Structure 1
């Protein structure tokens, strides 16, 4: 995915690739700890790899300013990836996830308390790095961290009485995923002394892309081949998480327009979430038209992200941003 993004950026390819190599070196250094047992835990997920989408977006948007791909850009990109990694440690504890990025999750490795604290260490390391970038960058980091936490809280507590489940879900996606992607895009412009107008535009782009990305993940959770992805289909269903396909089915049920298979899915998920129940639900969902509705929603959010790029001048950066948005949903074609 990063290769495709760099390719879309045309003449920026070599510089973007070099920047990401430097960021990876900074990241691997940042996750190290002086005590061996703690070091094993804090570098666990960084060593397992990952897409590095957020650093790539930060690097790409830095080319909107006059001082692109500099040391501040590298630090900014490292900060957003450290923050992302920290949230994964915490998410895996809350979800009791056995695996992450093809390796045993941190809490399976060392227990919940140690995994939470390892995530906290990474948050602290990100905060220490961002302090080098000045007050504006520090404030952006703090606001983004707050939004990440609010998003997780809202997902945990459920929708307020005056908010529909669908609207609440989109809000959670924007807070939990969109906020950090938005910050990644904004950091790139800030680090290269770009204009406030460009920073605002790419931040809004990033937030919408984040929602599109998660909606695409809702499709992948149902439609993916576990032997290929390494992720068991229906993972969210097994955890009792109501993602967009289920929310849309519930809307149909409330409106009295749900079909037999859709009602069967809801009835199954209202009971014991054993393997047989989830497997039957996944099989029914794979053949249900509601999955096309979720694909369409993901594409709508991706298209809306591209629509806010009008202030960005035509050229390699804009081409790369459009490619970035398209890549989020091309995974579900």
Structure 2
């Protein structure tokens, strides 16, 4: 990770001063670096002897950072990782363009590995993430779209990059298709569990853990799984409440507290966490196709870490 962080700082550089200024604002503001760590671990899992996994891990982090810069513009977010979002300091245009720059640098590092298959996996993930953003935009405030729409969005927006991050490890280590598929499924299910927990944390998590203010999804009118479950299970008055807040965006004083109470009363939070546990179990099950090792145990522990953030 020291090598990855060094490469991230190098590749975020530019003669245009505003680019490293904005990039470093987000890169240096923390974050768990979970996705690049997964790339390194998935390569180490198969005893990869080279150094190209470092470039792939940095590419994955740049892709993630670019999506955060773009997301904050789309969502009008004010806070990212406990600090003012880049768009608040430098404006929307600069945030979007620096995000584009980071994507370009990510693809440059992918090409340098010489692996067309890794390039294919990560470039496909980049396209899928963009599709997920547009899909969310087209129905973000609609409660009638229900669970299928929500699951399609988080699979594209979050799980696709987790999946790509873990799949490129066995690819760069020249492992057979079975190992690649096992790690793809591990990352996919881990990403789904991770996002479900994030959506639960928005209604009562620690802002320091979440990296943004609690209640942001509610204020932005996002129909996440907890909200969808509470809407489906609620009374007519409950449905009217969720319609006013989520679809119409009419948020009043005390509405967040009322929303949390309705989520708890309908079991929506606990059931969303249980859904995360189910995906976590699928992630651990996928690892069974990989020979036992300390790294495999660590990857299983990552699943538990991702889900236990909700407590």
Q: Please point out which of 48, 63, 78 is paired with 1:83.
A: 63
Give the number of aligned pairs: 306
- The alpha-carbon deviation at position 264 of structure 1 amounts to 6.8
Contact map agreement 2:280 2:304 (CA 8 A) in 1: yes
CA–CA distance in structure 2, aligned partners of residues 241 and 82 of structure 1: 25
Name the SS for the 1:309 alignment partner: helix
Mapping of residues 299-314 of structure 1, within 5 Å: 299-314=277-292
Q: CA deviation at 1:158?
A: 2.4
Contact 2:42–2:166 (CA<8 Å) still a contact in 1? yes
SS class of match (1:222): coil
DSSP 3-state at the match of 1:43: helix
The match for 1:57 is 38
Q: Tell me which residue corresponds to 1:147.
A: 128
C-alpha separation in 2, matches of 1:277 and 1:223: 14
**1:1-47 deviations in whole A, cap 9, x for unaligned?**
xxxxxxxxxxxxxxxxxxx1111111111111212233212322112
The Cα shift of 1:233 comes to 2.2
Q: Call closer, same or farther: CA 1:237–1:310 in 2, change over 3 Å.
A: same
- Who is 2:27 aligned against? 46
- Following superposition, the deviation at residue 322 of structure 1 comes to 0.9
Preserved CA contact (<8 Å) 1:268 1:277: no
- The residue correspondences of 1:131-210 to structure 2 (distance < 5 A) are 131-134=111-114, 135-158=116-139, 165-210=146-191
What's the CA shift string for 1:277-328, capped at 9, x where partnerless? 2343234435552211111111111111112222111221221121111111
Where do residues 30-41 of structure 1 align in structure 2 (5 Å cutoff)?
Answer: 30-41=11-22
- Does 2:250 match 1:269? no
Change (3 A) 1:193 1:203: same
Report if aligned partners of 1:65, 1:195 keep a CA contact under 8 Å in 2: no
TM-aligned CA distance change 1:260 to 1:85, over 3 Å: same
Calculate the TM-score normalised by the size of structure 1. 0.85
Structure 1 residue 216 displacement after superposition: 0.4
How large is the Cα RMSD of the aligned pairs? Answer: 2.3
- Secondary structure class of the residue paired with 2:221: coil
1:64-143 map, 5 Å? 64-68=45-49, 70-134=50-114, 135-143=116-124
Return closer, same or farther for 1:115/1:267 CA change in 2, 3 Å cut-off: closer
Instruction: Work out the CA distance in 1 between the residues paired with 2:9 and 2:194.
Output: 26
Q: 2:81, 2:212 within 8 Å by CA — same for their partners in 1?
A: no
Shift of 1:102: 1.9
Tell me the alpha carbon deviations over residues 259-278 of structure 1, each in whole angstroms, 9 at most, x when there is no partner: 58854752552551244323
Aligned mates of 1:119, 1:299 — CA distance in 2 = 33
- 1:63 Cα deviation (Å)? 2.0
Match status 1:327 vs 2:296 = no
- Secondary structure of residue in 2 paired with 1:48: coil
Name the stretch that deviates more: 224-233 or 125-134. Answer: 224-233
Unpaired segments ≥5 residues, structure 1: 1-19, 253-257
The Cα of 1:130 is off from its aligned counterpart by: 0.7
